[in-house]
């Protein structure tokens, strides 16, 4: 491959990062101008107001328009200094939002200190409205950009191009996972594996193999990759790995090390250099103390509010079920909860009254849904007409709010299994009983009945190992979108 082609590809890689960051700069500036000057006009009116600077011997008045311009400039500078537009944080995860909030709060604190030290008499309403509103609108603006970026990445654009290096099995695992989540912004374009031969592909994929690790630079040139991901280092001794990192072009080619431990959330991972060794510390998950208290308090308040607000809907569904079909309104079923204890889970009845007796006759039919452990059927003949409507929008699960209020369940958690499902669990799956089951969870927002059993277990265990209140709020937000999308709901 010619040098001209390599330079062209590197320019494209830099261009998408620069173009996206530039667009964020423009929209951030427009948001802050609209918010800060909008608050100024709303608070003071069209007339020009002054802010007072009081010293020991004199007093200085400064126009609020100048102050607004200064705040906008400092705010934009803070967003840049905290790296809120860096390509490593935009698009996925919560880091981008956390950096925006951190930059905003620190600027607000700095302004408070300056006003105290120099006796600046700001109008309190002007400051107390502008900063929270600016933060919210900034967040919304970035969320809108994420939707656009996700659509672009689904088409293979605006992504880092990745060359995988490691064993065939580890490279295949990473290629499969990254292909499943294109919104993460990593598009695999090649791999170097032991005994790899040109013109080969990773098994079951279209990812080309460019030879072994000794073919790295030829592979980079041929694939145009800008990111090298080490999926396993057994084939790379420390000296060779160090030489590999030195050989990459600074600023254009990036090196990423993937640890063997997977499905660990970011807040549990801390990197600490010790004697020149970059050690990764992984905190052991804890299920006690303040986190448990906060989760239970959130469940009580959240379920109580939802029951109170949704009581007319609950009553309307109950009447529809009672008048639409013969039988009880509620369906009660024994499920397994925290610690392996059983409880009675409530749902609006969406099936005929003898649904359990008719289950065995349906097990051998082609279901085109569910998996080897959980029974799901896309066009289940036991579902009533009103039940089909409720299932499309997950309305049949609303009575589980009473389970949450009583403490049997949580708003967010693993799916509550049946005892017959637990009987066929492998040992490691029992870790899902370390927390309460939830009305919704990662399983609910990631495909529901369309998932394989392995994916269902992986998502539930990931939640158990990494749960947090921030994560719960994100899952609840994604649940609303999943319910409206109705994918996998039957």
Q: Match 């007072």 to its residue by tokens.
A: 52
Report the pLDDT value the prediction gives residue 84, as an integer from 0 to 100.
93
Q: Which of 99, 120, 154 is the last residue of a domain?
A: 154
Rounded distance between C-alpha atoms, residue 248 and residue 389, angstroms: 56
Domain assignment of residue 490, yes or no: no
- 254: CATH: 3.40.50.720
**Residue 29: closest CA among 141, 112, 119:** 141
Q: Which of 213, 239, 260 is the last residue of a domain?
A: 260
Same domain, yes or no: 109 and 125: yes
Residue ranges of the chain whose pLDDT lies below 50: 1-10, 57, 488, 490
With 0-12 / 13-18 / 19 or more C-beta atoms within 10 angstroms meaning exposed / middle / buried, residue 319 is exposed
Sequence-ordered list of residues with C-beta below 8 angstroms from that of 464, at least 6 positions apart, any chain:
285, 414, 431, 432, 434, 435
Same domain, yes or no: 74 and 169: no
Q: Provide the β-strand partners of residue 164.
A: 191, 229
Same domain, yes or no: 12 and 67: yes
Rounded distance between C-alpha atoms, residue 338 and residue 416, angstroms: 9
Domain assignment of residue 265, yes or no: no
Report the pLDDT value the prediction gives residue 54, as an integer from 0 to 100.
56
Same domain, yes or no: 25 and 139: yes
Domain assignment of residue 426, yes or no: yes
| H helices present in 363-468, as ranges | 385-392, 400-406, 419-422, 442-445, 453-466
Report the pLDDT value the prediction gives residue 312, as an integer from 0 to 100.
93
Same domain, yes or no: 191 and 208: yes
Sequence-ordered list of residues with C-beta below 8 angstroms from that of 452, at least 6 positions apart, any chain:
371
Q: Are 228 and 163 in contact (CB under 8 A)?
A: yes
Same domain, yes or no: 141 and 179: no
The most distant pair of C-alpha atoms in the chain lies apart, rounded to whole Å, by 93
Same domain, yes or no: 317 and 333: yes
Domain assignment of residue 269, yes or no: no
Cα-based angle 9, 80, 73 (whole degrees, multiple of 5)? 130
Kindly report the pTM of this predicted structure. 0.67
Rounded distance between C-alpha atoms, residue 319 and residue 312, angstroms: 11
Same domain, yes or no: 87 and 186: no
Domain assignment of residue 417, yes or no: yes
Same domain, yes or no: 362 and 332: yes
Domain assignment of residue 285, yes or no: no
Both structure tokens of 60: 């200085």
Same domain, yes or no: 185 and 142: no
Domain assignment of residue 111, yes or no: yes
**Residue 203: closest CA among 233, 179, 173, 177:** 173
DSSP 8-state symbol, 206:
-
Same domain, yes or no: 405 and 300: yes
**Residue 347: closest CA among 306, 411, 414, 403:** 403
Q: Which of 206, 239, 260 is the last residue of a domain?
A: 260
Query: What is residue 33's three-state secondary structure?
Result: helix
pLDDT tens-digit profile of 164-174?
A: 988 888 888 88
Q: Are 46 and 65 in contact (CB under 8 A)?
A: no
In which domain, by residue range, is 108 found? Answer: 3-154
Q: Provide the β-strand partners of residue 59.
A: 54
Domain assignment of residue 280, yes or no: no
Please report how many Cα atoms fall inside a 13 Å half-sphere around the Cα of residue 111, on the Cβ side.
24
**Residue 377: closest CA among 215, 460, 490, 485:** 490
Both structure tokens of 429: 């799956």
DSSP string for residues in 379-406: T-TTB-HHHHHHHHTTGGGTTHHHHHHH
**Residue 40: closest CA among 26, 50, 30:** 50
Rounded distance between C-alpha atoms, residue 281 and residue 268, angstroms: 8
Number of domains in the chain: 3
Same domain, yes or no: 355 and 369: yes
């Amino acid at each position: 491959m010619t040098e001209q082609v390599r330079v062209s590809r590197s320019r494209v890689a830099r261009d998408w990062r620069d173009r996206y960051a530039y667009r964020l700069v423009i929209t951030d500036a427009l948001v802050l101008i609209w918010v800060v000057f909008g608050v100024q006009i709303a608070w003071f009116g069209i007339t020009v107001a002054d802010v007072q600077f009081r010293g020991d011997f004199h007093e200085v008045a400064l126009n609020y328009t100048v102050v607004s311009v200064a705040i906008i400039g400092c705010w934009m500078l803070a967003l840049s200094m905290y790296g809120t537009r860096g390509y490593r944080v935009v698009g996925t995860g919560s880091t981008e939002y956390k950096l925006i909030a951190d930059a905003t709060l620190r600027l607000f604190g700095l302004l408070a200190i300056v006003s105290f030290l120099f006796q600046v008499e700001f109008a309190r309403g002007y400051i107390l409205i502008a900063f929270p509103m600016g933060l919210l609108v900034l967040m919304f603006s970035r969320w809108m950009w994420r939707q656009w970026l996700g659509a672009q990445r689904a088409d293979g654009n605006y992504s880092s191009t990745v060359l995988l290096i490691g064993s065939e099995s580890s490279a295949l695992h990473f290629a499969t996972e990254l292909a499943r989540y294109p919104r993460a912004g990593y598009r695999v374009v090649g791999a170097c594996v032991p005994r790899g031969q040109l013109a080969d592909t990773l098994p079951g994929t279209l990812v080309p193999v460019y030879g072994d690790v000794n073919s790295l630079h030829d592979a980079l040139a041929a694939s145009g990759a800008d990111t090298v991901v080490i999926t396993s280092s057994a084939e790379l001794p420390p000296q060779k790995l160090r030489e590999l990192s030195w050989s990459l072009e600074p600023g254009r080619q990036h090196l990423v090390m993937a640890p063997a431990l997977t499905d660990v959330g970011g807040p549990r991972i801390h990197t600490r250099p010790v004697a020149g060794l970059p050690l990764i510390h992984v905190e052991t998950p804890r299920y006690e103390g303040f986190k448990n208290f906060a989760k239970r308090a959130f469940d009580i308040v959240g379920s109580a509010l939802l029951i109170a607000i949704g009581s007319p809907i609950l009553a309307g569904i109950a009447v529809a079920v009672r008048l639409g079909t013969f039988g009880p309104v509620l369906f009660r079923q024994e499920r397994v909860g925290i610690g392996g204890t059983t409880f009675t889970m409530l749902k609006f009845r969406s099936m005929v009254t003898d649904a359990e007796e008719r289950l065995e006759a349906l097990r051998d039919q082609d279901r085109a849904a569910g998996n080897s452990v959980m029974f799901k059927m896309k066009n289940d003949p036991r579902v009533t007409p009103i039940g089909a409507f409720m299932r499309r929008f997950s309305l049949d699960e609303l009575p589980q709010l009473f389970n949450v209020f009583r403490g049997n369940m949580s708003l967010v958690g693993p799916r509550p299994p049946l005892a017959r499902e637990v009987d066929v669990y492998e040992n490691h799956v029992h870790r899902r009983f370390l927390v309460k089951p939830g009305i919704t969870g990662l399983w609910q927002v990631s495909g529901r009945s369309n998932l394989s059993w392995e994916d269902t277990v992986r998502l539930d265990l990931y939640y158990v190992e990494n749960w947090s209140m921030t994560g719960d709020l994100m899952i609840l937000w994604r649940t609303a979108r999943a319910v409206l999308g109705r994918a996998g709901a039957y």
